[in-house]
A and B are shown apart, each in its own frame.
Chain A
Amino acid sequence: MDAPFHSKAGVERVVFRLFVAGDEPHSRAARANLGEFRATRETSPGKIEVVDVFKSPETALENGIFVTPTLIVSSKTSRMVLYGDLSDMGEIARALNLVEGG
């Protein structure tokens, strides 16, 4: 599992780790919605990692994930978990704020 990375200014950056189940409909939608969320932000919200549970089920288990799609928004000090296809962009934003706020 990759560790959170740091920004140019040395600020610890947020990591979006999305667990998906192949190209299943909700997973596909979650990927698309997360991509759209990143694209619409003026600054990069953080690093995105996509984990396919079909390929790496153990990673999901190690992260305590047992359903897909699940998004973990985490920083060094905080972590938020979202379930579903991420169609509610505000929910992602709120999670991001909470995590960034630490």
Chain B
Amino acid sequence: MATRRPTYEELESRLAETERALEAIREGKVDAVVGTKDVYVLRLREMEEALREAGEERERRLAAQAALSDISYDILAQTDISGLLNVSAHAARRLTGARLASCGHGYMNGRFRTGATSRDSGIPDCPPGRDFSIRKGGLYMEVLDRTWSFRLTDARMRSHPRWWGLPKGHVPLDGLMGARLMNSDGSPNGMILASHKDKGDFTAEDEGTLSQLAAMTSLALRNLMFQEALEHRVDERTMELEQKASDLQILNREMAVEIGRRAEMEARQKKTEEELRLSNKKVLEEIKERRFLAGRLVKLIERDRSEMGMALHDEAGQWLTALRMELEDIKGGLPPGHLLDKVEVTEKQTTELLGFIRDFSNYLRPASLKRLGVVSSVRGLVEDVKKKMGGEVHFHFKEVPANLHPDKELALYRIIQESLTNIQRHARAGRVFVNLIRKGTTLHLSVEDDGVGFDPQDLERDHGSQGEALGLSIMKERATQVGGDFWIESEKGKGTLACACIPVGDPVEGSGGGPNKIRDENA
């Protein structure tokens, strides 16, 4: 069949139809385009609707993620587990559209330690103070022991083989969705539950969101538990350190006391050692002095023997020689009248001899000391010296005990005797003062003269070579022997003072020859 060529009007009409068809395509009014090989279906509106819905879903999901992100700040900002569970329960409602949500933590042996619930005003509250436990094997154990999350419509919840119904007083449920709170190893540590979806049933997206919330809550929970454990450990450590510090303080105080005690002991020990050292030094000095005195004493005895020998030879020998010559004259015969003279001469010589023997005897051992006591004996001694020296010799005594020990009486007498002898020999004194005075338990003796005096250093230089120094040593030894002391002070041209201190000591009953009374007088 021959094909007719279309007219201009026909072409124009078809062109207009084509333009209208294209306009219909642009306006989304067509379903399909018919091609030469196939029919192409156009579902632009559906696609637009799908795109719009996808965009809305995307916006909704973004909003949900933003909400989850906002909630994450609240969750991570919590500082205690109770607050965290409350925030999580509220967040579960907000994110899933549930009207009722609860959150429990510390699952152990079928019971939660801490819990929180969030509900809208249309959901009744549980009885106050009611604590529900979760028995093993029930529906809740699905999320705790078997799965990480679940989502059940109300019908499926009630037909679930593990659904045991609700305990008396429990808030009624309408559908149920749960997610596990877990430890770091994934083991269950609690759960978040949601019920009463505001519109329809919970979706898979709700379940995913609840799982994310549970994961975030678990993380925050572990962080808080770690912080609690850390704070507990810090508290324990702080207590340990405080206890150790306290123990250390006590130990320090004890150590300080011990150090003080030891320091005191060391000081006492040092003092004792020093005293011992001084005592040893003193003993050594005394031993040295005693040795020295012993040598001096031997020399003194030798000197006394020599003097006594010389005295006997010079005095007694002369008197006896003269007496023998007078007796030989008598024996040879005398003219009458001379015999009587001779007898008188011999009588005088015998008297002189007796006097010498008495003086000598007194020198060796004053007999008056035992008979009259130290005061009377010293007084006699002073009188003799006064006669021989020809100057003033004063004796002053006060409260001298009458029953002084004989050794002390002898020591005092010898010291006075030696002092007076020295004065007679060397001092060239005009006045001598002898004082014997008791003060308390001590008898103080001083013998002072206004003679030429001497330099004590000269005496020390001549130590051992002169009789004077020897005499002073003997006087010191005598004082020491009876527990006393002796010293001498002198200066050239300014006289000499000899002093002795003798302890009175215990009285001796009946000892001493003197009258039994306190002497107090001057002579």
Contacts and interface: CB of A to CB of B under 8 A. Distances in A.
A20 B31 contact: yes
Contact of A26 (B20, B21, B31): B31
Contacts of B45: 25
A73 to B, nearest CB: 12
A67 B30 contact: yes
B29 A53 contact: no
Given A24-B41, A53-B39, A83 B20 contact: yes
Given A81-B20, A83-B20, A67 B33 contact: yes
Contacts of A27: 31-32
Nearest to B45: A25
B34 A67 contact: yes
Contact of B32 (A67, A83, A84): A67
Interface string A76-100: 0000010111000000000000000
A21 B41 contact: yes
B3 interface: no
**Chain A interface category by residue count:** 20 to 34
B332 interface: no
B29 A66 contact: no
Q: Is the interface of B mostly helix, strand, loop or mixed?
A: mixed
A69 B35 CA distance: 14
Given A25-B45, A67-B21, A83 B31 contact: no
Nearest to B24: A83
A85 B39 CA distance: 18
A61 B36 contact: yes
Which of B24, B33, B35, B38 counts the most A-chain CB atoms under 10 A from its CB? B24
B34 A65 contact: yes
A25 B29 contact: no
Contacts of A65: 34
B25 interface: yes
Nearest to B23: A83
A64 interface: yes
B24 A21 contact: no
A25 B27 CA distance: 15
Interface in B8-37: 14, 17, 20-21, 23-25, 27, 29-36
A54 B33 CA distance: 11
A30 to B, nearest CB: 9
Given A66-B21, A83-B30, A21 B39 contact: yes
A81 B17 CA distance: 7
Interface residues of B, number: 22
A66 B23 CA distance: 13
B492 interface: no
B46 interface: yes
Interface string B143-172: 000000000000000000000000000000
Contacts, number: 65
- Choose among B27, B31, B39, B41 the residue with the greatest number of A CB atoms under 10 Å from its CB: B31
Nearest to A80: B17
A52 B43 CA distance: 17
Contacts of B24: 67, 83-84
B30 A68 contact: yes
Contact of B34 (A24, A26, A66, A84): A66
A64 B14 CA distance: 8
A24 B31 contact: yes
Interface string B32-63: 11111011010101100000000000000000
Nearest to B14: A64
A69 B39 contact: no
A22 B32 CA distance: 9
Nearest to B20: A83
A22 to B, nearest CB: 8
Nearest to A70: B21
B41 A83 contact: no
A60 B46 contact: no
B53 to A, nearest CB: 16
A62 to B, nearest CB: 11
A23 B28 CA distance: 16
B14 A85 contact: no
Given A66-B21, A67-B25, A83-B20, A21 B36 contact: no
B31 A21 contact: yes
B46 A61 contact: no
A57 interface: yes
B46 A83 contact: no
B32 A21 contact: yes
Given A64-B17, A66-B21, A25 B34 contact: no
B33 to A, nearest CB: 6
Contact of A24 (B17, B35, B38, B43): B43
B397 to A, nearest CB: 161
Contacts of B29: 26, 83-85
A54 B38 CA distance: 8
B36 A68 contact: no
A70 B32 CA distance: 10
A26 B46 contact: no
A12 B370 CA distance: 201
B17 A57 contact: no
Closest 4 CB pairs of A and B: A21-B32, A24-B31, A83-B24, A84-B29
18 contacts: A21-B32, A22-B31, A24-B43, A26-B31, A53-B32, A53-B39, A61-B36, A65-B34, A67-B34, A68-B32, A68-B34, A69-B31, A70-B21, A70-B30, A83-B23, A83-B24, A84-B27, A84-B29
Interface of A: 19-22, 24-27, 53-54, 57, 60-61, 64-70, 81, 83-85
Given A81-B20, A84-B29, 11 more contacts: A20-B31, A21-B31, A24-B32, A24-B43, A66-B35, A67-B32, A67-B34, A68-B32, A83-B20, A83-B21, A84-B27
